[in-house]
Amino acid sequence: MSDKLERQNEVIIALLAQSTIGIDKISKIVCGGKRKPEAYRKAYNALQGNNGVTQIAKVAGVAQPTMTVILQSWEEQGIVNNLGTERKPQYHRLLHLPRNKKNKD
4 pLDDT tier (thresholds 50, 70, 90): confident
Are residues 62 and 44 in contact, defined by beta-carbon separation less than 8 angstroms? no
> Element (H or E) spanning 80, and its range?
strand 80-82
Show me where the domains of the chain are located. Answer: 3-103
Mean local confidence (pLDDT), 57-74:
96
Q: Which residues of 65-101 are buried (b: 16+ CB within 10 A; e: fewer)?
A: eebbebbeebeeeebbbbeeeeeebbbbbbbebeeee
Q: Is the pLDDT of residue 7 over 90?
A: no
Q: Is the pLDDT of residue 50 over 60?
A: yes
Domain 3-103: assigned CATH number: 1.10.10
pLDDT tens-digit readout, 20-41: 888 999 999 999 999 999 999 9
Query: Rounded to two decimals, what is the model's pTM?
Result: 0.85
Window from 8-12, 62-66, 81-85 with minimum mean pLDDT: 8-12
105 pLDDT tier (thresholds 50, 70, 90): very low
90 pLDDT tier (thresholds 50, 70, 90): very high
Dihedral sign (CA 74, 77, 82, 86): positive
12 pLDDT tier (thresholds 50, 70, 90): confident
